[in-house]
Amino acid sequence: MPTNRSLDQRSTTASSPLAELAPELRAALLRAGYDAGTLLDALGDEAHAALGRGEPVPVRRATRELGELGTLVRLLLLGDPVPEHEAAAAFSPLRIDRAMAAGLLERDGDQIRAALDLRPLDLGAGTRWVLSDLDDSMHRRSLDTDHVLGVGQASLSLLRATPTEKTGTVLDLGTGCGVQAVHAAAYGRTVTGTDVNRRALWLAGATAALNELDLELLEGSWFEPVAGRRFDRVVANPPFVVGPARVEHTYRDSGLALDGASELVISGIPELLNPGGTAALLASWVHIEGEDWRARVSSWLPDHGVDAWIVQRDIADPALYVGTWLRDAGLDPREGAAQARAERWLDAFAESEVEGIGFGFVYLRAIDGPTELLAEDLTHGFEDPLGAEAMKYFERSAWLRAVAADPGPMLSARYEVDAATALERVYLPGTEGWEQRVARLHRSDGPRWQHEVDDSTAALLAGMRPDGLALDELLELLAFSETGDAATPEFESAALGVVTGLVRHGLIRPVG
């Protein structure tokens, strides 16, 4: 690993030979048009898609007429060696000897190749450049223990799922290459990143300098670097890979057995949040035979002080899970060493009766009251990011919490159906023609929640208008239409349960 700097536990972004290149490197990238928008336009949709699939030939062909931009693409994205005079022209005003001394480039015979991955991303605030170690997407290579992962699908998922409302202090726990911290700089007043991997902090510091950002980067394990501190928002993409207690790659392995890393982070983050502070993180949890995964995850939270929304997006079969992560580390599952690892991994799952591995997002908010938890499956398809929805969820949850002790305000409130909510009735063939089998409310945006409802609920929502009747008046009319009598306490209680669920998922909302 290139020598960078001594990292003080209270240092802000400091200098290193790589970070010191930032002004000239940034000038070269801007001059060549090595930014997210220009690159997409120059490569075209087909070559850009091939880049994402790890297929170098279509990308290489697309760079032939791109001049210095094409040289940078071949060097930094494809990992191709290029003649030194071409590299020198593309990186001007940065000198090649300085780039090699800092660890950005290296010599390959009489040619130059990249020693690091450097790619442009648009994270919502214009192009940002992110430095990381080279992966094996374009060239076969084994990954070192301290390998610093670039911006993969997990990182992109968290970026899209993180709330971006302006806030004060932000902590990126386990910053890796620093992409989450760079993203946080657009919405946080100050940003702190931590990592146990010194190489990760070296690259994150250079990434910050390249993007003209000042980040506080602290070295240490888990919560140790920020002990005693609290933040307004915490984001984390921790080493959540589920498996035996070992560390083969620090970016994914925690040294804790099974889902111990997720348990540690989820249980510890509440102590890092300021009142009203929020957290967004990725996590995994095992599905044990005879055990509800929701109960497992809920046991990781304290009894007081947290509003939690936990979303399971996928469940993986153990064998598929192991094969996926072996390939992620650059291993071929057909080779003997990889097969031995797979055996040990699957043995550990079998000993713990693991049936599957769940993966998803965890959102936490610090509240003054008993802990509340909604853990749910959202394995159906939806495209909208969850970041904005998470903050709206917490707002709806706070309103429901405020009226929970006394149903009076909830009954006296007026409601309206969200504009994205639709009622559909599903008919299937029966003995006497088409028969209605189910009525379903669903949102066409956000997480696309669906609720099966009966005719009474459908009729209740039909009467909800901002200038219409309060809920208790609607229930009186509904009860009379169905029974000829006034609404009973049992009728009201059942209706309140339905309304609570619909409010929580944003299908309806109280007016004002």
Is 305 in the same domain as 219? yes
Identify whether 170 is part of a domain.
Answer: yes
pLDDT at residue number 6 = 38
- pLDDT for residue 371 is more than 70: yes
Helices 84-91 & 67-76 angle (0-180, nearest 10): 110
Provide the 10 A C-beta neighbour count for residue 373: 14
428 or 25, greater pLDDT: 25
Is 492 in the same domain as 449? yes
Q: What is the mean pLDDT of residues 25-40?
A: 93
CATH code, domain carrying 421: 3.30.390
54 or 391, greater pLDDT: 391
Identify whether 139 is part of a domain.
Answer: no
Domains contained in the chain, number? 3
Is 235 in the same domain as 93? no
- pLDDT for residue 219 is more than 90: yes
Q: What confidence category does residue 10 fall into, taking pLDDT thresholds of 50, 70 and 90?
A: very low
pLDDT at residue number 153 = 82
**In what side-by-side order are the strands of the sheet with 82-83?**
82-83, 111-114, 105-108
Kindly report each contact of residues 297-303 with a partner whose C-beta sits within 8 Å and lies 24 or more positions away, as own/partner. 297/266, 297/362, 297/375, 298/373, 298/375, 300/262, 300/263, 300/266, 300/267, 301/266, 301/267, 301/270, 301/371, 301/373, 302/267, 302/270, 302/371, 303/370, 303/371
CATH code, domain carrying 159: 3.40.50.150
The parent domain of residue 445 ranges over 407-510
Least confident of 317-326, 362-371, 428-437: 428-437
Structure confidence by residue, pLDDT tens digits, 163-196: 999 999 999 999 999 999 999 999 999 999 999 9
What is the rounded average pLDDT for all residues in the chain?
88
The rounded distance, in Å, linking the Cα atoms of 276 and 398 is 11
Burial of 467 (0-12, 13-18, 19+ CB in 10 A): exposed
- pLDDT for residue 433 is more than 70: yes
Percent of the chain with pLDDT over 70: 92
Is 37 in the same domain as 181? no
Q: What is the mean pLDDT of residues 380-384?
A: 74
Identify whether 374 is part of a domain.
Answer: yes
pLDDT at residue number 123 = 80
The whole-model pTM stands at: 0.89
The rounded distance, in Å, linking the Cα atoms of 132 and 118 is 7
Structure confidence by residue, pLDDT tens digits, 336-345: 877 888 888 8
pLDDT at residue number 474 = 95
Is 99 in the same domain as 159? no
- pLDDT for residue 322 is more than 90: no
Is 271 in the same domain as 313? yes
Structural domain ending residue among the three candidates 119, 136, 163: 119
Q: What is the mean pLDDT of residues 104-109?
A: 92
Burial of 349 (0-12, 13-18, 19+ CB in 10 A): buried
Identify whether 110 is part of a domain.
Answer: yes
Identify whether 78 is part of a domain.
Answer: yes
Structural domain ending residue among the three candidates 347, 369, 402: 402
Torsion of CA 4, 6, 10, 16, to 10 degrees: -30
Is 67 in the same domain as 80? yes
Identify whether 308 is part of a domain.
Answer: yes
pLDDT at residue number 251 = 54
Q: What is the mean pLDDT of residues 82-102?
A: 95
Structural domain ending residue among the three candidates 59, 94, 119: 119
pLDDT at residue number 131 = 95
250 or 422, greater pLDDT: 422
Is 380 in the same domain as 242? yes
Is 398 in the same domain as 419? no
Is 394 in the same domain as 432? no
Q: What is the mean pLDDT of residues 239-246?
A: 69
Is 55 in the same domain as 199? no
Q: 3-state class of 392 per DSSP?
A: helix
- pLDDT for residue 1 is more than 50: no
CB 488 within 8 A of CB 437: no
Q: What confidence category does residue 486 fall into, taking pLDDT thresholds of 50, 70 and 90?
A: confident
Identify whether 279 is part of a domain.
Answer: yes
Helices 387-403 & 489-504 angle (0-180, nearest 10): 160
Identify whether 336 is part of a domain.
Answer: no
Is 59 in the same domain as 161? no
